């Protein structure tokens, strides 16, 4: 599999870019920014903004901006509604109709600390803060349903399982990845695995109900089988990011490819053979193909994949990336 990238457009901004997400229909992309306010260093205040891009095939156009507190993570609820985890400890619900300005629909106060991650599924949202706390939220009511101390240090990432509506995944700077079952509450996790360094990204894997993947500051992307008891034999190291922690990763719909934001190594796409996603696999590590390897801290990444049903025959995706210290947002076509 030979992967190529063709840049469509690139933008530079006045704040640090850290999160980017395509809307479910692929017609919009929203970018989150944050930067420490130098005039308020003692308070730790962070300024932020959201920037909206309109997508028409391979044409990308910047449209509207909205000032908000620092944005640490984004998650679309539907094609015109998005959640933003902010530095003020609030979840912002952002209304984003096509070709219209961004507006704040509501804010929900969650924590006195930075919210680092957010996800949405059904009628619930999940978010986590810099002290390791995790919060399950009734989204229509804007009310916290349940909370727990998920990690000893920063909870870098929280995600709902896309394969099992009951499961919530979390990863933290304490080197742990946990799986929680909403049916028994957040008092005890149902699966845990220690890593060599902090866990900064995780995901369920399409078409593989019992598997999850974790990205780590140790530069490795791993796959775990939830049917194991965590005592060994279920870990697969799919690839190394070759110089950067796996800050974000996204699977293609058929789990044949993987997109990663690799921090100090840029962005990468990896072809994942089907026989590699097996607990018994001892095959060679997948080799990443890198895009923007000189990016100054690769943080936000997403892709909008065309012709999903034909992914096994011909692959093409619109790739969106944002890097932190060079304030850069870039769009490119990814093909193989």
- Which tens digit of pLDDT belongs to each residue from 162-211? 999 999 999 999 999 999 999 998 988 999 999 999 999 999 999 899 99
Task: Name, of 236-240, 278-282, 324-328, the range with top average pLDDT.
Answer: 324-328
| Encoded tokens for 45 | 């205040």
Is residue 274's pLDDT more than 90? no
| Per-residue exposure over 102-123, b if at least 16 CB sit within 10 Å of its own CB, e if not | beeeebbebbebbbbbbbbbee
Residues 84-104 have a mean pLDDT of 97
Which is more confidently placed, 46 or 106? 106
CA distance 239 to 236: 9
CA distance 295 to 263: 8
Q: Show me where the domains of the chain are located.
A: 14-250
Q: What is the pLDDT of residue 272?
A: 86
CA distance 31 to 170: 23
Is residue 144's pLDDT more than 90? yes
Q: What is the DSSP string of 225-283?
A: ETTS-SSSS--EEEEE-SSS---EEEE-TTSSEEEEE-BTT-EEEEE--GGGSSTT---
Is residue 309's pLDDT more than 50? no
Q: What is the pLDDT of residue 233?
A: 43
| Encoded tokens for 213 | 């993947």
Query: Superfamily assignment of 14-250 in CATH?
Result: YVTN repeat-like/Quinoprotein amine dehydrogenase (2.130.10.10)
Q: What is the pLDDT of residue 41?
A: 58
pTM (two decimals): 0.93
């Amino acid at each position: 599999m030979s992967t190529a990238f063709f840049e469509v457009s690139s933008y530079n901004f006045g704040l640090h870019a850290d999160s980017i997400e395509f809307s479910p229909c692929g017609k919009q992309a929203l970018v989150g920014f944050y930067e420490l306010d130098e005039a308020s260093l003692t308070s730790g205040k962070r300024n932020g903004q959201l920037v909206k891009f309109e997508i028409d095939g391979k044409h990308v156009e910047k449209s509207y901006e909205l000032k908000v507190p620092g944005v640490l993570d984004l998650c679309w609820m539907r094609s015109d509604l998005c959640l933003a985890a902010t530095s003020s400890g609030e979840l912002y619900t952002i209304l984003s109709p096509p070709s219209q300005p961004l507006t704040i629909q509501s804010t929900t106060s969650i924590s006195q600390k930075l919210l680092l991650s957010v996800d949405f599924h059904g009628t619930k949202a999940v978010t986590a803060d810099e002290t390791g706390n995790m919060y399950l939220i009734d989204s229509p009511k804007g009310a916290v349903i349940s909370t727990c101390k998920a990690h000893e240090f920063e909870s870098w990432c929280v995600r709902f399982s896309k394969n099992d509506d009951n499961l919530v995944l979390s990863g933290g700077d304490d080197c742990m990845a946990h799986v929680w079952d909403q049916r028994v509450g957040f008092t005890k996790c149902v699966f845990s695995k220690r890593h060599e360094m902090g866990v900064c990204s995780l995901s369920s894997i399409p078409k593989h109900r019992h598997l999850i993947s974790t990205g780590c500051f140790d530069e490795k992307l791993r796959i775990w089988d939830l049917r194991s008891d965590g005592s060994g034999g279920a870990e697969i190291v799919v690839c190394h990011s070759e110089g950067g922690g796996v800050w974000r990763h996204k699977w293609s719909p058929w789990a044949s490819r993987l997109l990663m934001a690799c921090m100090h190594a840029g962005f990468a796409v990896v072809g994942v053979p089907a026989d590699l996603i097996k607990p018994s696999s001892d095959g060679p590590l997948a080799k990443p193909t890198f895009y923007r390897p000189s990016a100054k801290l690769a943080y936000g990444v997403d892709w909008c994949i065309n012709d999903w049903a034909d992914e096994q025959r011909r692959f093409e995706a619109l790739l969106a990336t944002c890097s932190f210290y060079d304030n850069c947002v870039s769009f490119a076509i990814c093909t193989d």
